[in-house]
């Protein structure tokens, strides 16, 4: 039996329904800025072990919720688990970022790719989702996530992080059909993976398009947006008797909000370079907006953080449809007390914007 969801602000806000206060969660809220995360990470030995051990992934997912009154949990995992399950051999070297043992170097490398069964090759993620849901016991909803096909493809082709994206950009210009084959199979893998997360208990979904913003407008539509739209179309509209909202987030995608809204997603994540008020005027009648405090604002003192929160809440204005978040992930050097200041400010200062709302 599914326990009652005690705090459904996130799900309501993502559907532009009234709330009592603006919900808040933070990208990378379970992460290196928390000493308890670093302790668990050290115990795990490697980042991959942390991701692949459901008990540990559950533990770090819940850590920020024990500290701060956040309105959502987000599955602790990595977007690159999907290409790893597709056979590319993921590892993380200290300070070097992700590395694939078998990056895609030829047409046959791409043709050989298959769609992993999420309950087999990615069983450890599904087990983590189930465990987190049980441990959350209805406290807040659990967000599942995946990388966008374009973003995953950049790592799969480059072999890891890249400074100039020479390989995938050359592929996109010289052999677009080959890239489309890669994006198609990756889209199928991501779609199956997100569907399985919902079946396992995820109550909202987010697609991280971290590298969509390095594309030209034309290439963005061809290589990233199209595939995200396909994923949105293939996701369950509801589970456990409630809609499952879908958030699309293209970092650096401020110019493409209309295109993102047209995919049929419920909400758009926006980075801190976007004017939140203007974004609401542009697409706020169709989608909710999630964001968009400058992550480096957390280097400021608590009173300044509070001012910045007030300004963003004011930019969005009264009424529903806003999920407060950073414009990108929390940086590792941030003091957890600053995060507390942020979360408390959102709840304190947003109440007057939601007269008539409900908890």
Closest distance between a copy of itself and the C-beta of residue 27, in Å? Answer: 14
CB of 331 to a copy of itself, least distance (A): 5
78 in catalytic set: yes
Question: How far is the first Cα of the chain from the last one, in angstroms, to the nearest whole number?
Answer: 23
Q: Encoding tokens for residue 231?
A: 């994923």
Q: Which is closer to a copy of itself, CB of 99 or CB of 282?
A: 282
Catalytic residue among 12, 16, 41, 338: 41
Concerning whether 173 is annotated as a catalytic residue, the answer is no
| Given 20, 32, 117, 315, the catalytic residue | 32
Nearest distance from C-beta of residue 9 to a copy of itself, angstroms: 25
Shortest separation between residue 25's beta carbon and a copy of itself, angstroms: 20
Concerning whether 155 is annotated as a catalytic residue, the answer is yes
Rg (CA), the chain: 19
SS3 (DSSP) at 46: coil
Six-digit token string for 151: 């973003």
Task: Indicate the residue among 170 and 285 with the shorter CB distance to a copy of itself.
Answer: 170
The answer to whether 9 is a known catalytic residue is no
Rounded to an integer, what distance in angstroms lies between the CA atom of residue 28 and that of residue 139?
A: 19
**Of residues 20, 38, 67, 78, which has the active-site annotation?**
78
Residue 31 C-beta: closest distance to a copy of itself, Å: 14
Helix (H, G, I), strand (E, B) or coil at 184: helix
Other CB atoms within 10 A of residue 246 CB: 23
245, exposed or middle or buried, with CB in 10 Å at 0-12, 13-18, 19+?
Answer: buried
Of 16 and 169, the one with the shorter C-beta distance to a copy of itself is 169
Q: Please, which residues bridge with residue 246 across strands? A: 205
* Residue 41 designated active-site: yes
Name the minimum Å distance from CB 177 to a copy of itself.
13
C-beta closer to a copy of itself: residue 202 or 312: 312
Q: Return the sign of the alpha-carbon dihedral for residues 89, 204, 248, 277.
A: negative
Dihedral pair phi/psi, residue 162, rounded to 5° = -140, 150
The catalytic position among 8, 12, 16, 155 is 155
Q: What is the DSSP string of 209-276?
A: ETTGGGS-HHHIIIIIIHHHHHHHHTS-SEETTEE--EEEEETT-GGGHHHHHTTT-SEEE--TTS-H
| Catalytic member of 12, 16, 28, 306 | 28
Residue 147, strand partner residues: 208
Question: Which of 121/259 has CB closer to a copy of itself?
Answer: 259
Applying CB under 8 A, the residues found at the interface with a copy of itself are: 164-166, 169-170, 173-174, 213-220, 252, 254-255, 272-275, 294, 296-297, 299-301, 304, 308, 311, 331, 333
Dist. CA 160–CA 324, nearest whole Å:
31
Locate 195 and state its tokens. 């569907």
Asked if residue 290 lies in contact with residue 270, where contact means CB atoms within 8 angstroms, the answer is yes
Nearest to a copy of itself of 81, 250 (CB atom): 250
Q: Give the whole-angstrom CA distance, residue 171 versus residue 193.
A: 26
Active site residues: 28, 32, 41, 78, 155
């Amino acid at each position: 039996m599914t326990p009652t969801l005690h705090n459904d602000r996130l799900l309501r806000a993502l559907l532009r329904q009234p709330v009592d206060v603006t919900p808040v969660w933070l990208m990378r809220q379970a992460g290196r800025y928390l000493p308890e995360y670093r302790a668990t990470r050290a115990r795990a030995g490697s980042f991959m072990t942390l991701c692949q051990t459901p008990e540990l992934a559950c533990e770090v997912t819940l850590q920020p919720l024990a500290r701060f009154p956040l309105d959502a949990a987000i599955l602790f995992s990595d977007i690159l688990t999907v290409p790893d399950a597709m056979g590319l051999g993921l590892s993380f070297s200290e300070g070097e970022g992700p590395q694939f043992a078998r990056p895609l170097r030829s047409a046959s490398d791409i043709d050989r790719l298959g769609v992993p069964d999420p309950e087999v090759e990615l069983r450890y993620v599904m087990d983590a989702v189930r465990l987190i849901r049980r441990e959350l016991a209805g406290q807040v909803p659990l967000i599942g996530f995946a990388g966008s096909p374009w973003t995953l493809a950049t790592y799969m082709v480059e072999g890891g992080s890249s400074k100039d994206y020479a390989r995938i950009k050359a592929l996109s210009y010289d052999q677009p059909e080959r890239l489309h084959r890669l994006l198609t199979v990756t889209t199928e893998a991501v779609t199956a993976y997100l569907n399985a997360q919902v079946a396992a208990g995820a109550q909202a979904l987010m697609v991280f398009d971290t590298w969509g913003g390095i594309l030209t407008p034309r290439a963005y539509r061809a290589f990233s947006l199209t595939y995200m739209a396909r994923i949105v179309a293939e996701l369950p509209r509801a589970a456990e008797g409630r809609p499952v909202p879908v958030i699309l987030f293209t970092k650096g995608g401020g110019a493409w909000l209309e295109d993102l809204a047209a995919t049929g997603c419920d909400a758009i994540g926006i980075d801190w370079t976007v004017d939140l008020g203007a974004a609401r005027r542009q697409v706020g009648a169709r989608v909710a907006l999630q964001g968009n405090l400058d992550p480096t604002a957390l280097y400021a003192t608590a009173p300044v953080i509070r001012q910045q929160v007030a300004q963003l809440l004011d930019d969005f204005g009264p009424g529903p449809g806003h999920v407060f978040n950073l414009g990108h992930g929390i940086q590792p050097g941030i003091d957890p007390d600053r995060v507390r200041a942020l979360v408390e400010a959102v709840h304190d200062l947003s109440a007057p914007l939601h007269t008539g709302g409900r908890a």
